[in-house]
Structure 1
Amino acid sequence: MNFDFNQNLILEDDYVQLRPLQRSDLDNLLHFSINEPDIWKYSLVRANGKENLENYIDIAIKARNNHTEFPFIIYDKKQQKYAGSTRFYDIQFPFKTLQLGYTWYGGDFQGTGLNKHCKMLLLTYAFETLGMERVEFRADNNNARSIAAMKSIGCKVDGILRNNMPTYEGKARQHCIKYSQKRVGGKC
């Protein structure tokens, strides 16, 4: 696959626009970072506070430059506001797999259906344009909101990776639940 990581890839429908995350998006996301620190409760890369958000964006952009991830900023067209971020990561073109994650939304956008629109755009692009055969999702096994979101778009449980990653505090290890979508007969 000859994918251009430098392209200005925009995915959109009537409800949402996904465009490449840029350093200048710090201003578009900073209010979440300052006012909604619980968004990153289960994340290993926290973006609470300006410094952490700068680091989060820098890590995402560096991974894009290294051709291993493609991060997006999420814009809610109905509310006409930036809503959060998501990305393709662990992109494995030879094996036709990638992971979809690092997804978060501000509180006003959670439970609105915006996530389903984002995921359908991303899954359609992954399967139909990139030719992927499998898209994986992971979440902390205690993250009920993420697990419900994955189930709501038809993801299937692949298993639980016990003691997979350290918690942010580093005092224990978290169990990670793994889901996937597979392309079957030209459909996801």
Structure 2
Amino acid sequence: MMTQELMILEDEYVALKPMHASHIKNLYRAGKDLAIWQWTTTNYCQTLDITKQWVESCIENARLNLQQPFVIVDKTQNEIVGSTSYLNISVKHKSIEIGLPF
């Protein structure tokens, strides 16, 4: 079982912090650059409402232990610059998928 609140991964420049609803506006702001979405099928930051739905979905998937979503924080500017996730976690097969658009 994952412990989302305790999982912070960081070095001197970047921190991966568990995604929370309080990050919605900052993720929306970080995702405004359309170039980010050039090679994806879905723009999760097209509107604030879409970003809210996406973050809530990620948080629910974390609650169900299906996903471990993180925000990416640029520590040099103390600013959220994106997100990533652990997905398709399989203890049995000792495998994990890393990534999520943006």
Q: TM-score range by the shorter chain?
A: 0.7 to 0.9
- Partner of residue 71 from structure 1, selected from 37, 49, 69: 69
Bigger Cα Rg = 1
How far apart are the structure 2 equivalents of 1:56 and 1:44? 14
How far apart are the structure 1 equivalents of 2:20 and 2:5? 12
How far apart are the structure 1 equivalents of 2:81 and 2:18? 14
Q: Which residue of 2 aligns with 1:42?
A: 39
How far apart are the structure 2 equivalents of 1:103 and 1:16? 18
Q: CA deviation at 1:71?
A: 0.3
How far apart are the structure 2 equivalents of 1:54 and 1:37? 18
Structure 1 regions of 5+ residues with no counterpart? Answer: 105-188
- Partner of residue 5 from structure 1, selected from 3, 9, 33: 3
Contact 2:14 2:75 in 1 (8 A): yes
Contact 1:5 1:65 in 2 (8 A): no
SS at match of 1:95: coil
Q: CA deviation at 1:29?
A: 1.5
CA RMSD of aligned residues (A): 1.7
Greater RCO structure (CA 8 Å; 6+ sep): 2
- Partner of residue 51 from structure 1, selected from 38, 45, 49: 49
Query: Deviation above 3 Å: which 4+ runs of structure 1?
Result: none
Q: CA deviation at 1:59?
A: 1.4
Q: Which residue of 2 aligns with 1:96?
A: 94
Q: CA deviation at 1:7?
A: 3.2
Contact 1:5 1:64 in 2 (8 A): no
Q: CA deviation at 1:45?
A: 4.0
Indicate how the Cα distance of structure 1 residues 8 and 103 shifts in structure 2: closer, same or farther if over 3 A, else same: farther
- The normalised TM-score by structure 2 is 0.86
Contact 1:28 1:82 in 2 (8 A): yes
Contact 2:66 2:88 in 1 (8 A): yes
Q: Quick one: percent identity of the two aligned structures?
A: 26
Q: CA deviation at 1:30?
A: 2.0
Number of residues of Structure 1 aligned to a counterpart in Structure 2: 101
- The normalised TM-score by structure 1 is 0.49
Contact 2:87 2:99 in 1 (8 A): yes
